[in-house]
């Protein structure tokens, strides 16, 4: 058990020292979320409601409400069970958030009645439309962010623009944010305890611990890859992802793959370790195996944890990243794919 605690401590230490892609440039400091209005996020669904069907899509804007509580309030408004309410992903409570929920409502219910019931809730209703299916977890294409970084020094826009230019040129490491690991990273202690005792997940909370472990291993893998000088290049056997379709393939022609990577047509992916994860080959496979060996894990570990695994794009391209100076600080705007963290972007600037 002691060796697993040491492993947890090693992972936590690594999570506190994630590298920066713009490390050659000075940071600007600052503060985020001094006010909810300083952190704005708009969810983008992968499809639009078709206008027909028994699921009502409610697009709303809220402040200081978490996603589960919004869903509960919507359900109470119409007497729905939790299974009749859908959403794509959880959003930050300390923010102004635009998000779409689906409600299973009979077609016979007049829209006037629906609007009247929703008007009693403390949300700004932006759109109502019907669709044939429920919104399920993961049904999010992207999130658009507008974030005010306050308490920045005068003239920091020059430094911020230099960092932004570096991020645009080099790409941004797609690290999992520190919130993934819980307060004082205690999720990693609990996850390693499950591994040590060979416990399988018994609850959603246990599943979160397993996810935290997978996320930390990914962050460590990407940190080590950057340290080896391979953060901005393809290596033999990488599992690459096509940026237009999302399709995965194992790199065989290294020269061709590097050219496509330079053109942002593909991106290399990292391991979300699991017993069904698409395997890398050659040098890339050896490097991933080193991470597992270091922590005495294998595919059997993840079978025990009921974690099938997946691949995660390792670098983010942010073509719409923009920084605008205002009296209160600097406004940042950018779009991230689902699963990426806005705090990962801001840490490059704040340090």
CATH number given to 47-139: 3.30.2350.20
Token output for 4:
């697993």
Tokens of 284: 């890339």
Residue that the structure tokens 């040129």 belong to: 169
Block means of pLDDT (10 residues each) for the chain, length 351 residues? Answer: 84 95 95 95 95 97 96 97 95 95 96 96 97 94 97 94 97 95 94 92 92 98 96 96 95 97 96 97 97 95 96 97 96 96 96 90
Q: Which two tokens stand for residue 296?
A: 């005495």
The per-residue pLDDT of the chain, averaged, comes to: 95
Question: Within the chain, which residue ranges are assigned CATH 3.30.2350.20?
Answer: 2-17+173-316, 47-139
Q: State how far the alpha carbon of 74 is from the alpha carbons of 53, 138, 168, in Å.
A: 19, 20, 40
DSSP 8-class letter at 273: -
Does the annotation count 84 as an active-site position? no
CB 225 within 8 A of CB 231: yes
Q: 329: closest CA among 155, 78, 116, 96?
A: 155
For 2-17+173-316, which CATH superfamily applies? TruD, catalytic domain (3.30.2350.20)
Tell me which of 9, 84, 92, 206 is the catalytic residue: 92
**What is the reported pLDDT for 3?**
78
In the prediction, which pLDDT does 2 show?
A: 75
Contact between 54 and 78 under an 8 Å Cβ cutoff? The reply is no
User: What is the pLDDT, as a whole number, of residue 160?
Assistant: 98
pLDDT value of residue 213 = 97
Q: What is the pLDDT of residues 107-117, one digit of tens each?
A: 999 999 999 99
The per-residue pLDDT for 1 is 66
Distance (Å, rounded) from C-alpha 67 to C-alpha 141?
17
Contacts of 230 (CB under 8 A, 6+ apart): none
């Amino acid at each position: 058990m002691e060796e697993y605690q040491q492993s947890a401590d090693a992972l936590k230490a690594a999570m506190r020292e994630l590298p920066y892609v713009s490390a050659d440039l000075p940071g600007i400091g600052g503060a985020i979320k001094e006010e909810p209005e300083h952190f704005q996020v708009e969810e983008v669904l992968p499809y639009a409601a078709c206008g027909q069907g028994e699921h009502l899509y409610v697009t709303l804007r809220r402040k200081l409400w978490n996603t589960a509580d919004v869903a509960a309030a919507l359900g109470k408004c119409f007497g729905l069970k939790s299974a009749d309410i859908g959403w794509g992903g959880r959003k930050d409570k300390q923010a102004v958030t635009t998000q779409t929920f689906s409600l299973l409502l009979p077609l016979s219910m007049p829209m006037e009645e629906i609007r009247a019931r929703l008007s009693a809730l403390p949300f700004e209703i932006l759109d109502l439309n019907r669709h044939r299916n429920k919104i399920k977890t993961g049904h999010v294409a992207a999130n658009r962010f507008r974030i005010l970084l306050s308490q920045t020094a005068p003239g920091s826009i020059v430094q911020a623009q230099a960092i932004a230019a570096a991020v645009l040129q080099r790409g941004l490491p797609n690290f999992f944010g520190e919130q993934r690991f819980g307060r004082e990273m205690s999720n990693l202690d609990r996850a390693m305890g499950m591994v040590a005792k060979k416990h399988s997940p018994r609850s959603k909370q246990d599943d979160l611990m397993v996810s935290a472990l997978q996320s930390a291993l990914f962050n460590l893998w990407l940190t080590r890859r950057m340290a080896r000088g391979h953060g901005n290049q393809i290596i033999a056997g990488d599992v690459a992802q096509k940026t237009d379709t999302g399709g995965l393939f194992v790199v065989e022609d290294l020269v061709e793959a590097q050219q496509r990577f330079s053109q942002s047509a593909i991106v290399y992916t990292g391991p979300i370790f699991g017993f069904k994860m698409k395997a890398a080959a050659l040098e890339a496979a050896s490097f991933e195996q080193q991470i597992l060996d270091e922590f005495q894990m294998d595919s059997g570990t993840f079978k025990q944890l009921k974690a099938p695994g997946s691949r995660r794009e390792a670098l983010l391209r942010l073509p719409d990243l923009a920084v605008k100076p205002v009296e209160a600080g600097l406004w940042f705007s950018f779009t991230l794919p689902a699963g990426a963290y806005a705090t990962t972007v801001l840490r490059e600037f704040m340090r």
